[in-house]
Amino acid sequence: MNPLNERFILSNGVKIPKVGLGTWQIPNDQVVQVCLDAFEVGYRHIDSANGYQNEQGVGQAIKQSGLKRDELFITSKLPSHIKGYQVTLDSFNETMNNLQLDVLDLYLIHAPWPWSEIGKDCTQGNIDSFKAMIELYHQGRIRSIGVSNFSVKDLKAVIEATGFVPHVNQIRFYISDTQDDIVKFCQEHNILVEAYSPLATGRILSNPQLQKIAYEKGVSVAQVCVKYCLEKGTLPLPKTTKRERMIENARLDFTLSDDEVHKLDQITL
Ligand SMILES: NC(=O)c1ccc[n+]([C@@H]2O[C@H](COP(=O)([O-])OP(=O)(O)OC[C@H]3O[C@@H](n4cnc5c(N)ncnc54)[C@H](OP(=O)(O)O)[C@@H]3O)[C@@H](O)[C@H]2O)c1
């Protein structure tokens, strides 16, 4: 299996490469070379966000790569504190100027609440932002739209108010933290779950139980973690700045048996 060449199909028929490169915490000046390396080893899917302050670098890498636009799948996100119709349109324009793109492949509401006020009820603001995104989607400026860090309650609120089911919900998902209620709801409603922090931002890599399983299979812990996300029907977004790790994280030509998946389900961090 080469997940870089395989695709999930979103509910609107748009195809999305099964593994994407995460870019959180990669500074703008560094992200250009990181993306170019990723493209060279076969990645075609980049996960960025206005909040990562590296959209300009991602855009520069796209230009420099010489790849055709339709070979690439580029995601960005509306900053978590921006809630409302017009401010969403304005922020989207800023994102597109940064990326120097005409059309974005996937645009997400980064979180249901500002990062500085986690848990705050911003239901109306999320609905208004999502309405603006639906408008941009219908205008053809975005090929698919979705949300991130949304609970089942948050999802139900936007679906009920707009009648539009998001194509994607990007959530924290890794071995030991799989947010089963959200995944179940999304899969029942044909919302693709993207697994962010599939390596628990690196914290999972020293887990002795995982190290034992990986060693016995002759693969790395990172590979087990990325493969596990795919086994669960989610789309992993591993982040690395290192070319050899990009290759490693997408070299998934091994299987996890039901027994092994069951063992992985029991692991706690
Ligand atoms: N929507 C959201 O709110 C949200 C939140 C968090 C993350 N995300 C997205 O998900 C992406 C991934 O999540 P994440 O950044 O938290 O981290 P992650 O992918 O879970 O882990 C990244 C860490 O693991 C290291 N690493 C990667 N591959 C490795 C390998 N093969 N062997 C050893 N170490 C390895 C990286 O170091 P090096 O870089 O030094 O290799 C880095 O320290 C983000 O970049 C972002 O795009 C979204």
pLDDT digits (tens, 9 = 90+) for 162-191: 999 999 999 999 999 999 999 999 999 999
Instruction: Judge whether residue 212 has pLDDT over 90.
Output: yes
The protein residue whose alpha carbon is closest to atom 47 in ligand 1 is 22
| Helix count and strand count (H, E) for the chain | 10, 10
Distance between CA atoms of 141 and 227, rounded to whole angstroms? 32
Q: Indicate whether 252 belongs to any domain.
A: no
The protein residue whose alpha carbon is closest to atom 17 in ligand 1 is 201
Chain mean pLDDT for the chain = 98
Tens digits of residue pLDDT in 42-100: 999 999 999 999 999 999 999 999 999 999 999 999 999 999 999 999 999 999 999 99
Domain CATH number, residue 155: 3.20.20.100
Confidence of residue 1 (pLDDT cuts 50, 70, 90): confident
Q: Report CA(196)–ligand 1 centroid distance (Å).
A: 8
Q: Indicate whether 137 belongs to any domain.
A: yes
Q: Report CA(61)–ligand 1 centroid distance (Å).
A: 19
Indicate whether residue 248 lines ligand 1 (CB < 6 A): yes
- The number of domains in the chain is 1
Q: Indicate whether 132 belongs to any domain.
A: yes
> Which parts of the chain are beta strand (E)?
7-9, 15-17, 21-22, 45-47, 73-78, 106-109, 145-148, 168-172, 192-196, 235-236
Tens digits of residue pLDDT in 13-38: 999 999 999 999 999 999 999 999 99
Confidence of residue 269 (pLDDT cuts 50, 70, 90): confident
Residue in 43, 52, 107, 228 annotated catalytic: 52
Q: Indicate whether 175 belongs to any domain.
A: yes
137 is catalytic: no
Q: Indicate whether 65 belongs to any domain.
A: yes
Distance between CA atoms of 223 and 245, rounded to whole angstroms? 10
Contact 112, 147 (CB under 8 A): yes
- Which domain, by its residues, includes 11? 7-202+233-241
Confidence of residue 237 (pLDDT cuts 50, 70, 90): very high
Q: Report CA(109)–ligand 1 centroid distance (Å).
A: 20
Q: Indicate whether 216 belongs to any domain.
A: no
What pLDDT, on the 0 to 100 scale, is given for residue 64? 98
Q: Indicate whether 29 belongs to any domain.
A: yes
Q: Indicate whether 45 belongs to any domain.
A: yes
Name the residue of 240, 242, 243, 248 to mutate for ligand 1: max ligand atoms within 8 A of Cβ.
240
